Copies of this chain bind each other. A is one copy, B any other.
Amino acid sequence: VLEIITTDAPAVEGARRKHKFEQPPYTVRKKLLWAAYEEIYRHGYQGARVDRILAAAGLTKGTFYYHFPSKLDLGYAVVDECLTRTLDIICLTPLREGSDPIATLGSIILGSEVTSRRAVELGCPLNNLAQEMSPVDEGFRQRINAVFLTWQSAIEDALRRGQVRGVVRTDVDVEATALLIIATLEGCIGMAKQSRSLGVLERCSKGFLKLLDGLRP
């Protein structure tokens, strides 16, 4: 999950109407959520500031508390809604719709140029939050873990379908491999982030692609 998906978020310009109260609550909530997603991606949950989120979304504190009782509720909603949605667009849907899971998984790590640059600068939004909040807050940990488990079982399903179709080796341990694929992907993005180097991401990706290639019959 390398990149913010803004297709789900209202375009800032387009959503800017004359009067805030004209916006349907659903849109306001989404605006808040995606502004929070970006703020948390940049600063971590603990470093995220509600005033910056509100400024980015062009909303008031009152609006915030109308939708979320606290910063923690907003943080949880970012995991449940934004991270889940991002994962779905980047990985789950392509895996479900594609016929070759190995090619699909391979295309995730380098993604687009924008995606790679964001990964080098900021890492992976899901794993950042996992590493920051899992040891600190059980509510975050369980929600984040649920996203990882969804991801894992989507990879498992795709590999199994690939085995049936003959594009994945039948002796591959599907569960262990899905876990290793996520770990390696996150490890590569983490190395790119700490070194701030696109070259590191590219070199690491080669190893990841080789791992995937080893799954072909």
Q: Which A residues lie at the B interface, using CB under 8 A?
A: 42, 44, 46-47, 121-123, 127-128, 130-132, 134-136, 141, 144-145, 148, 175-177, 179-180, 182-188, 190-191, 193-196, 200, 203-204, 206-208, 211, 214
Contacts and interface: CB of A to CB of B under 8 A. Distances in A.
B194 A188 contact: no
Contacts of A46: 46-47
Report copies per complex. 2
A191 B196 contact: no
19 contacts: A46-B47, A122-B135, A123-B131, A127-B131, A127-B194, A130-B190, A131-B132, A131-B193, A145-B194, A176-B203, A176-B204, A176-B206, A179-B203, A180-B208, A182-B187, A183-B184, A183-B190, A183-B207, A184-B187
A214 B213 CA distance: 13
Given A187-B184, A187-B186, A195 B131 contact: no
Contacts of A130: 190, 193-194
B187 A207 contact: no
A121 B136 CA distance: 11
A193 B134 contact: yes
B176 A207 contact: yes
B193 A179 contact: no
A165 B47 CA distance: 50
A110 to B, nearest CB: 14
Given A175-B203, A180-B207, 5 more contacts: A127-B190, A134-B194, A144-B194, A176-B206, A183-B190
Contacts of A176: 203-204, 206-207
A180 B191 CA distance: 9
Given A47-B46, A207-B177, A135 B190 contact: no
Given A46-B47, A131-B128, A196-B134, A191 B179 contact: yes
Contacts of A214: 214
Contacts of A132: 44, 131-132
A194 B123 contact: no
Given A177-B207, A196-B141, A203-B176, A190 B47 contact: no
